[in-house]
Structure 1
Amino acid sequence: MALERISVSLDQDLVAQFEQFLQARGYRNRSEAIRDLIRDKLEAERTDQAADGHCIGTLSYVFNHHERELARRLTNAHHHHHHVAISTLHVHLDHDNCLEAVVVKGPTGQVREFADGIIAQAGVRHGHLSLIPVEVADERHSHGNAAPEHTHIKPQT
Structure 2
Amino acid sequence: MQRITITLDDDLMDDLDRMIDEHGYQNRSEAIRDFTRAGMQQAAQQTGKSGSCVAALVYVYDHASRDLSRRLVQNYHGHHDLSMATLHVHLDDDNCMEVTALKGSGAELQHFADHIIAERGVRYGRLVMIPTEPEGKKTRKRADHRHS
Same fold by TM (over 0.5)?
yes
Runs (4+) off by over 6 Å: none
Q: More strand by proportion, 1 or 2?
A: 1
Looking at structure 1, the residues matched to 87 and 7 of structure 2 have their Cα atoms a distance apart, in angstroms, of 41
- Quote the Cα distance in structure 2 between the aligned partners of 1:98 and 1:68: 14
The aligned amino acid for 2:122 is: V
C-alpha change, 1:95 and 1:113, in structure 2 (3 Å) is same
Aligned twin of 2:43: 45
Give the structure 2 partner of residue 6 of structure 1. Answer: 5
Report the CA distance between 1:133 and its aligned residue: 3.7
Q: What residue in structure 2 maps to residue 117 of structure 1?
A: 115
Shift of 1:38: 0.6
Query: Taking structure 1 as the reference length, what is the TM-score of the superposition?
Result: 0.68
For residues 60-79 of structure 1, the aligned pairs below 5 Å read 60-79=58-77
CA distance in 2, matches of 1:50, 1:72: 31
Q: Which runs of 5+ in 2 are unaligned?
A: 134-142
> Structure 1 residues 23, 124: closer, same or farther in 2, change over 3 A?
farther
- Which residue matches 1:55? 53
For 2:114 and 2:55, the matched residues in 1 are separated by 14
TM-score (norm 2): 0.71
RMSD, aligned α-carbons: 3.1
Q: Per the alignment, in what secondary structure is the counterpart of residue 103 of structure 1?
A: strand
Counterparts of 2:92 and 2:18, CA distance in 1:
32
Q: What is the match of residue 140 of structure 2?
A: none
Give 1:120 deviation, angstroms. 0.6
Matches within 5 A, 1:5-154: 5-12=4-11, 14-15=12-13, 17-47=15-45, 48-50=47-49, 53-134=51-132
Distance change >3 Å, CA 50–CA 5, structure 1 → 2: closer
The verdict on how the C-alpha distance between 1:20 and 1:68 changes in structure 2, with shifts beyond 3 A counting, is farther
| Partner Cα separation in structure 2 for residue 16 and residue 96 of structure 1 | 45
Q: Do the aligned residues in 1 keep the contact of 2:20 with 2:28 (CA within 8 Å)?
A: yes
Q: Percent identity?
A: 40
Higher relative contact order (CA 8 A, sep 6+): 2
Counterpart-to-counterpart distance in 2, 1:45 and 1:113: 17
Aligned length: 138
Q: 1:37-78: CA deviations, max 9, x gaps?
A: 110111223343427x43322211122222222222212211
